[in-house]
Structure 1
Amino acid sequence: MNTDYFTDREYGTRPAISETINIRAWGALYPLVGLRIGNGAFGFRFAEQCPDGRGACGCDQQAFGQFLQAEVPWLEWPLRCDKLPETPVVLDLLEFCAKAVGEPISVSYHSYYDHHHLKWERAAGLASFVADVNLLLQRNGIAFKLDDDGRAQQILPQPVAQALGWKMFNTGDTELDRLLEYARSRFLAPKLEDRRDATEKLWDAFERMKTLEPGSDKRAQADALLDCAAAPGTKMRAALADEAKSLTSIGNSLRIRHSEVTQEMIDRSEQLDWLFVRMFGFLRLLLLSSGRSNNPTPTGGSE
């Protein structure tokens, strides 16, 4: 089904810049969940059994609600259309539903109870749920989406998405690969705390990279790494040295690699975007220049 609208085609899609799910979007997500409870879609995980024992016939709403309260304890059940949960809690709800959903398919009709016995097609049900959720979020300019597996992700600004759309972590050092991939994947998480954690791991990767080239000490090893990126004595080499010093200073003065009271907390998402892209771009240059990532391949990135 075509899901774009006239305004999308004529004026472009609404920018996904809001990091808060508003009451209008919640007013549609609420019945979206309720409709799938009603048609038995969540019976894929929470199947209601026919009283005659002839098979599943829908969604066990009591089990659905009990598990939801246990797995998302911050959420009030039954849900209320007029009471907007916090955005991370709504995202947890959507992930919970994505794990439970399937497309209900009628197997047979049971005339005595006037109901159908059902089976579920998981892939079709999940794809339909993800598409419906993402349409509502997109139309309201909300910077989150569900991926194909039903996991919530933040929709990053295009420069950030382009940077993270390259997987280039075959550096020859297992720990560096781990730090880089952890940072890249974690930065896609919706929560600001997770994205701070990703930024910390990126700075840790920077410190480890400084020790990989030959040299008598860390300073000599770091200089050798920069020499791979630009010829010694050139203005570019000097600029890269200044950038390395600046990034090291940022990591020590802001609360990225340390947690002393003198470090300043980064509390705005757009500030993290800028810092992450700045460091990620610098590391990418060093990886390519040192021959530690000769053939980067696109992963698809984020929208």
Structure 2
Amino acid sequence: MSTSYFTDREYGALPAISETIGERVWGALHALMDMRIGNGAFGYRFTEQCPDGKGPCGCDQQAFGRFLQAEVPWVEWPLRCDELPETPVVLDLLEFCAKAVGEPILGSYHSYYGHHHLTWDRAAGLASFVADVNLLFQRNGIAFKLDDDGRAKRILPQPVAQALGWQMFDTGETELDRLLDYARSRFLSPKLDDRRDATEKLWDAFERMKTLEPGSDKRAQADALLDRAAAPGTRMRAALADEAKELTSIGNSLRIRHSEVTQEVIDQSVQLDWLFVRMFGFLRLLLLSSGRSTNPTSAGERR
């Protein structure tokens, strides 16, 4: 069955730019989970047994609720459609459900208790749950999705996705590779705090790169690195020097590398995106110019 609607086909899907799950989407997600509790889909992990000992017959709602409150302690059980959790908590809840879901397969009918005995198709149940959640997100412009394993991922803005798609971290310096790989993977997280952490590691990588070239001190080493990116005395070389100074100043004045009370907190996702892409692009130029990475290819080109 097609999951696209007329407006998607004729006018295009809503851009995935909202990082807040609002009441309308929460209400639908609540119904989605409630339906799967009712049909026994979550019995794949939380199995209710037939009182006559004839096998599984549904979802043990008490066990589901107790484990949910322990694994996602910021939610109240039973869930209420009129009480909207914070977006990161909703994403945790969806991951919890994804780990528990399977497609219920009806077996023999137990007439005395009025239920069927069940088995579960894990792959089909997970795929169906992921598809239903992602359709709700897509139709409402939510910048998150569940991957095939049921883990919540952020849908990156296109410029960020293009920047992070490069395979470029084989610098010959183990710690620098680690910082760059950590920053890129961490920045994919739905959580703003994780992306702040990724931005800090990217600035740490910048500071480390300044010391890779030969030189009598850090200033001389940094100048030597910039000289490999543009010829000394050119306007481009001057522009790169200005950019390096500005990025260093940003890292020291905003709460990126330091946590003094004078540092300003970056509290908007779009601001972090801009800063991360700006620094990432600068580091990519320096890596390529200094011969510390081959000219990268995108994921699509590699295929």
Length-normalised TM-score, structure 1: 0.93
Per the alignment, residue 22 of structure 2 pairs with 22
Q: Supply the distance in 2 between the matched residues of 1:295 and 1:29 (Cα, whole angstroms).
A: 44
Q: Distance in 2 between matches of 1:87 and 1:119?
A: 33
Q: Distance in 2 between matches of 1:93 and 1:283?
A: 37
Q: Which has the larger displacement, 62-71 or 189-198?
A: 189-198
Change (3 A) 1:55 1:225: farther
Return the letter of the residue paired with 2:86. E
Question: d(CA) in 2 for partners of 1:114 and 1:85?
Answer: 35
Report the Cα distance in structure 2 between the residues aligned to 1:143 and 1:194, rounded to whole angstroms. Answer: 16
Aligned residue type for 2:39: N
Q: Secondary structure at the match of 1:166?
A: coil
**Corresponding residue number in structure 2 for 1:273:** 273
The amino acid of 1:131's aligned partner reads: A
Letter of the 1:21 partner, please give it.
I
Partner of 1:68: 68
Aligned partner of 1:100 in structure 2 is 100
The residue identity in structure 2 corresponding to 1:193 is D
* 1:220 to partner: Cα distance: 2.2
Distance 1:176 1:107 in 2: 56
Gaps of 5+ in 2: none
Quote how far apart the aligned CAs of 1:276 are. 0.6
State how 1:32-71 maps to structure 2 within 5 Å.
32-71=32-71
TM superposition shift of 1:107: 4.7
Distance in 2 (CA, whole Å) between partners of 1:177 and 1:254 is 24
Q: What is the rounded CA distance, in whole Å, between the counterparts of 1:138 and 1:39 in structure 2?
A: 25
Taking a change above 3 Å as real, the CA distance of residues 77 and 179 of structure 1, as seen in their structure-2 partners, is same
Per-residue deviation, 1:165: 1.8
RMSD: 1.7
Q: CA separation of 1:24/1:212 partners in 2, compared to 1, >3 Å: closer, same or farther? A: same
1:140 aligns with 2:116: no
Change (3 A) 1:295 1:42: farther
| 1:167 aligned counterpart, secondary structure | coil
Q: For residue 185 of structure 1, what is the amino acid of its counterpart?
A: S
After superposition, give the CA deviation of every residue in 1:176-195 in whole Å (9 maximum; x if it has no partner): 11111111111121221111
Corresponding position of 2:296: 296
Q: 1:42-73 CA deviation, whole Å, 9 max, x = no partner?
A: 12211222233333222111111100011111
Deviation, structure 1 residue 251: 0.3
Aligned ranges for residues 176-255 of structure 1 at < 5 Å? 176-255=176-255
After superposition, give the CA deviation of every residue in 1:238-291 in whole Å (9 maximum; x if it has no partner). Answer: 111111111001101111000111111111111111101100111111112222
Distance 1:53 1:209 in 2: 65
- 1:156 is paired with a residue of what secondary structure? coil
| Residue of structure 2 in register with 1:149 after alignment | 149
Q: Which moved more, 1:14-23 or 1:218-227?
A: 218-227
Consecutive unaligned residues of structure 1, counting only runs of 5 or more, are: none
Q: Deviations over 1:142-190 (max 9, x none)?
A: 2221122212122222111111122321222221111111111111212
Deviations 1:83-116 (A, max 9, x none): 2112121111111111111222335444554433
Are the structure 2 counterparts of residues 83 and 245 from structure 1 closer, same or farther at C-alpha, using a change threshold of 3 Å? same
Percentage of matched positions with identical amino acids: 86
Other structure's SS at 1:199 match: helix
Counterpart-to-counterpart distance in 2, 1:149 and 1:187: 19
- In structure 2, relative to structure 1, the CA distance for the partners of 1:255 and 1:59 (3 Å cut) is same
Cα distance change on mapping 1:229 and 1:60 into 2, 3 Å: same
